């Protein structure tokens, strides 16, 4: 059980979304940021690095947006929908772009296949939370 | 002249927005992140820290979103509007919330007055860039 | 199995430390950053927030240093000992300070108990990797 | 005058180092992080991107460590030397490595010349603050 999940139950906060959904999203965001950071390093070590430049860039964007989103939704007591909704949208879009690019390299580079998987999960989690904010 | 501004002219990138507007926005984002990080520390040192808890939280959110946005728009070759537009919207909203809260404390705490100023500038810059993205 | 661990095996990189030890450390750093971000939010929601100000500050420091350290060691091909060794030292020290402070609050606040646990694990992992760098 | 500098004078904090030195360092860290983020994007857009891979990696490391260091020293009330000293050391080393690599490309790429300049200033500022910590 992740730390986020353990903590959500013990914290004096009245979230107006389901705590499980929130924990799943925080975990997916952190996992995706971790995958994108690692994939950046792997991409930069490939022989065909010139073909990986776009992948590096999208991994960096995705990691940055995931970390910011994880920070914001981990700290929120009451959701500020004006911030959280577009942030989740931006995050889902960054995960989609990065996941698409990683998938293009997934046959050649196993690390990109793994990263694409993390991006897909995170995109889904962001969209699910967005739906629940409704 | 900021480093971002110096670099934008020397970089093989065909931005589809005005380079000056882009440089102003990157500077405003970095300045605002810096102000929010510093204000967090100042707030936590105040005697009335209990009244500053919301301000700390909003400064943290604002700094995180500004740093992510600065990273994304500093690195972009061609803008991925699906990511950049909602990210700038989230950033403007985070600056607005943080600026409003800081303003409430600006008479009592000079550091909050300074931070509010940084948030207002950054909010404007984000909205200007959003407008230019069309 | 974490994404970091899955990727380390598939990446064209000749680490001069054991890949398992590296993966354990990256996971511990990411988990600790996540715990500290969540604990910050919980602390700021407590009624006795004035007593939690030091805890908030140390959690923020710990999260920042853990994220930077995770980024650096995730991306390294060959270790630059001049950077990695003092960074791991700073990280272990940040985890120690934060873990000590969280422990002081662990009876009163379960979220601090969980965070202290994450800090202790991460401190150990950083020291183990430091030892292995020789 | 930077926001950090404006705030340091208005904040209830008894730093045990000179406030001007601290402000100079915070500014240098933020400027260097900004330069490294921008240089990463420029490097990834170069035709000879394969030769820039090491530069990208070192810019990413440098930016991450600078941001963490700026956060920690912006928030500190009393310095925790066990954290701050090795962190400044790691940061100076990251600036040195990145500055050296950027300098190698400075004739060919003006953006690397600018980034090298930012790294040199930041390295100096970190070492000056380290010296003042005694």
* pLDDT tens profile A113-128: 999 999 999 999 999 9
**Looking at residue B10, what is its pLDDT?**
82
Report the CATH number at residue D99.
1.20.1270.360
pLDDT band at A31 (very low <50, low <70, confident <90, very high): very high
Closest-CA distance, A29 to chain D, in angstroms, reads 19
**Looking at residue B64, what is its pLDDT?**
96
**Looking at residue C117, what is its pLDDT?**
98
Burial category of D110 from C-beta neighbours within 10 Å (exposed 0-12, middle 13-18, buried 19 and up): middle
**Looking at residue C47, what is its pLDDT?**
87
CB atoms near residue B67 (< 10 Å): 26
**Looking at residue C75, what is its pLDDT?**
84
pLDDT tens for residues D98-124? 999 999 999 999 999 999 999 999 999
Whether A10 has a pLDDT exceeding 90, the answer reads: no
**Looking at residue D84, what is its pLDDT?**
95
Q: Is residue A102 within 8 Å of residue A113, measured between CB atoms? A: yes
CB within 8 Å: C49 and B49: yes
Where in the sequence is the domain holding D116, given as residue range(s)?
A: 17-133
Residues of chain D with pLDDT under 50: none
Complex ipTM value:
0.94
Mean pLDDT of chain B: 92
Taking the CA atoms of residue C65, residue C66, residue C71 and residue C72 in that order, the dihedral angle to the nearest 10 degrees is 60
pLDDT band at C78 (very low <50, low <70, confident <90, very high): low
Q: Is residue B114 part of a domain?
A: yes
CB within 8 Å: C89 and D93: no
Q: B72 vs D80, which has greater pLDDT?
A: B72
Q: Is residue D97 part of a domain?
A: yes
**Looking at residue C77, what is its pLDDT?**
62
Q: Is residue B37 part of a domain?
A: yes
Mean pLDDT of chain A: 92
- DSSP per position, D33-78: HHHHHHHHHHHHTSTTHHHHHHHHHHHHHHHHHHHHHHHHHHH-SS
Q: Which chains touch A (3 or more CB pairs under 8 A)?
A: B, C, D
pLDDT band at A107 (very low <50, low <70, confident <90, very high): very high
Q: Is residue B23 part of a domain?
A: yes
**Looking at residue D100, what is its pLDDT?**
98
**Looking at residue D67, what is its pLDDT?**
96
Burial category of D131 from C-beta neighbours within 10 Å (exposed 0-12, middle 13-18, buried 19 and up): exposed
The DSSP call for residue C46 is S
**Looking at residue D15, what is its pLDDT?**
64
Q: What residues of B are in contact with residue C44 (Cβ under 8 Å)?
A: 53, 56-57
pLDDT band at C10 (very low <50, low <70, confident <90, very high): confident
Could you give the number of structural domains in chain C? Answer: 1
**Looking at residue B8, what is its pLDDT?**
81
Using DSSP, state whether B93 is helix, strand or coil: helix
Burial category of B33 from C-beta neighbours within 10 Å (exposed 0-12, middle 13-18, buried 19 and up): buried
Helix-, strand-, coil-residue percentages of chain D, each rounded to 5: 80, 0, 20
Closest-CA distance, A43 to chain D, in angstroms, reads 9
Mean pLDDT of chain C: 92
Q: Is residue D12 part of a domain?
A: no
CA A15 to chain centre: 20
Mutate to test the interface with C, among D50, D64, D74 (most CBs of C within 10 A): D64
CB within 8 Å: A34 and C10: no
Q: A75 vs D59, which has greater pLDDT?
A: D59
pLDDT tens for residues C40-75? 999 999 988 889 999 999 999 999 999 999 999 988
Nearest residue in C to D93, CA atom? C83
The mean-pLDDT minimum among A3-7, C51-55, C124-128 falls in A3-7
- Extract the tokens encoding D133: 């910590």
Q: How far apart are CA D52 and CA D33, in angstroms?
A: 18
Q: How far apart are CA A25 and CA A14, in angstroms?
A: 17
CB atoms near residue C18 (< 10 Å): 12
**Looking at residue B118, what is its pLDDT?**
98
- Extract the tokens encoding D2: 């930077």
Q: Is residue A11 part of a domain?
A: no
pLDDT exceeding 90 applies to what percent of chain A? 72
pTM above 0.90, yes or no: yes
pLDDT band at A16 (very low <50, low <70, confident <90, very high): confident
Q: Region B75-95: what's the mean pLDDT?
A: 90
**Looking at residue B9, what is its pLDDT?**
78
Whether A7 has a pLDDT exceeding 80, the answer reads: yes
- Extract the tokens encoding D70: 């700026």
Long-range contacts of A16-22 (CB under 8 A, 24+ apart): A16/A78, A16/A79, A17/A79, A17/A129, A17/A132, A17/A133, A18/A132, A21/A128, A21/A129, A21/A132, A22/A73, A22/A129
Q: Is residue B47 part of a domain?
A: yes
Q: How far apart are CA B79 and CA D77, in angstroms?
A: 40
- Which residues lie closer than 8 Å to B29 by C-beta, 6 or more apart? B66, B67, B69, B70, B73, B91, B122, B125, B126
Whether A102 has a pLDDT exceeding 80, the answer reads: yes
Q: Which residues of C touch D (CB under 8 A)?
A: 57, 60-61, 64-65, 67-68, 71-72, 75-77, 80, 82-87, 89-90, 93-94, 96-97
**Looking at residue B13, what is its pLDDT?**
67
pLDDT band at C13 (very low <50, low <70, confident <90, very high): low
Least CB–CB distance from C57: residue in B44, B50, B53: B44
**Looking at residue D78, what is its pLDDT?**
66
Q: Is residue B11 part of a domain?
A: no
Dihedral of CA A72/A78/A80/A86: which sign?
positive
CB within 8 Å: C75 and D60: yes
Q: Is residue B112 within 8 Å of residue B1, measured between CB atoms? A: no
Q: C134 vs A60, which has greater pLDDT?
A: A60
The mean-pLDDT minimum among A5-9, A95-99, C117-121 falls in A5-9
**Looking at residue A90, what is its pLDDT?**
98
Termini Cα distance of chain D: 27
Q: Region B11-34: what's the mean pLDDT?
A: 86
């Amino acid at each position: 059980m992740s730390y986020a999940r353990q903590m959500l139950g013990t914290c004096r906060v009245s979230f107006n979304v389901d705590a499980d959904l929130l924990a799943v999203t925080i975990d997916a965001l952190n996992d995706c940021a971790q995958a994108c950071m690692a994939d950046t390093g792997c991409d930069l070590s490939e022989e065909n690095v010139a073909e990986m430049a776009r992948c590096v860039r999208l991994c960096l964007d995705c990691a940055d947006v995931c970390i910011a989103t994880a920070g914001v939704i981990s700290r929120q007591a009451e959701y500020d929908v004006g911030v959280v909704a577009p942030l989740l949208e931006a995050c889902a879009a960054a995960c989609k772009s990065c996941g698409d690019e990683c998938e293009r390299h997934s046959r050649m580079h196993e690390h990109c296949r793994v990263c694409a998987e993390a991006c897909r999960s995170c995109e889904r989690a962001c969209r699910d939370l967005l739906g629940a904010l409704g």
